[in-house]
A and B are shown apart, each in its own frame.
Chain A
């Protein structure tokens, strides 16, 4: 509804190095709080939407409008 087409992962923020690797820009942080803060900034800067995959990892996704 409105935001359903083409999605791209713009950035990945994680506090667990073993969980993430690959194509999108990665940001490693110490703990959950730091992850939240970085994701907050990235969400505002990239106009993307922050999603929480699990306690360690968040992704910033651009949903086509």
Chain B
């Protein structure tokens, strides 16, 4: 009997850890940082996997106190969210183009949520070994690892909006992207630099839901941040005129995106804007009937 317990824990642990590895990806945004940021999250993932895996044998032994430790573990992983939020907020103060609170909250939430997913995967795998035999463990393990990989990526901007290149125009001191007013640029010198380096993009929402989502300032800041991370930004501290900015056309909800990438490559800009994640906390579905009904 002890032997099958060990098997269950080992299988659960391995499946959980594999899930964490599968869900931990350092992409073009360079977060989590390599190598130490990754080490931290892999270690936490291993602990989470251990907790989930051990819970099942504990349950079989009718050791219900051990199960309550899961609640304690949940508390611990909430700390992960705080840790990420604090780190990112601190780092954000040093960015030329900020990530923004919504983006940071989104990332922190993902780290917490993924640890819970790891606990669940380890638990299920461990359960499969206990109820069936070890081949079942392998099967369930493979399924959960596959599922978490599928759950990993959320929506990107091109799924909710059309992204097009637009002209950057200066009418006197006034800067426009397409026909959307951006800001007033007083100095000739800055106007010249904007003519040289500015890239304009118009984001057209595909439906009325996405129109509300795109209105969220956190979502807009995420667009600016991602472009500045991948393509660099032509600005420095103390140059408030050279700031990438997004303004919204109030009539139809289009976004006029004014960018100052280090490399002026409109195609690359388009590609990056299309891949900007749609932030979970920015999503609005104001017209879904069930939510519009009286919520008293």
Q: A interface vs B, CB < 8 Å? A: 1-3, 36, 39-40, 43-44, 47-52, 58-59, 62-63, 65
Contact = CB atoms under 8 A, between A and B. Distances in A.
Contact of A49 (B97, B217, B240, B246): B240
Contacts of B189: 40
B221 interface: yes
B186 interface: yes
Contact of B186 (A1, A2, A44, A49): A49
B247 A1 contact: yes
B245 interface: yes
A1 B220 contact: yes
Rank and list the top 8 A-B pairs by shortest CB-CB distance, nearest first.
A50-B186, A52-B173, A49-B240, A47-B238, A52-B186, A51-B184, A51-B186, A50-B187
25 contacts: A1-B220, A1-B224, A1-B245, A1-B246, A1-B247, A2-B97, A2-B221, A2-B224, A3-B243, A39-B187, A40-B187, A40-B189, A43-B241, A47-B238, A48-B240, A49-B186, A49-B241, A50-B187, A51-B173, A51-B184, A51-B185, A52-B172, A52-B173, A59-B186, A63-B240
B209 interface: no
Interface residues of B, number: 24
Contacts of B190: 50
A38 B221 CA distance: 32
Main secondary structure of the interface of B (DSSP, over half): loop
Interface in B160-174: 172-173
B38 interface: no
Contacts of A62: 240
A49 to B, nearest CB: 4
Given A36-B188, A51-B185, A52-B185, 20 more contacts: A1-B217, A1-B220, A2-B98, A2-B100, A2-B221, A2-B224, A2-B243, A2-B245, A36-B187, A39-B187, A43-B241, A47-B238, A48-B240, A49-B241, A50-B187, A51-B184, A52-B186, A58-B186, A59-B186, A65-B240
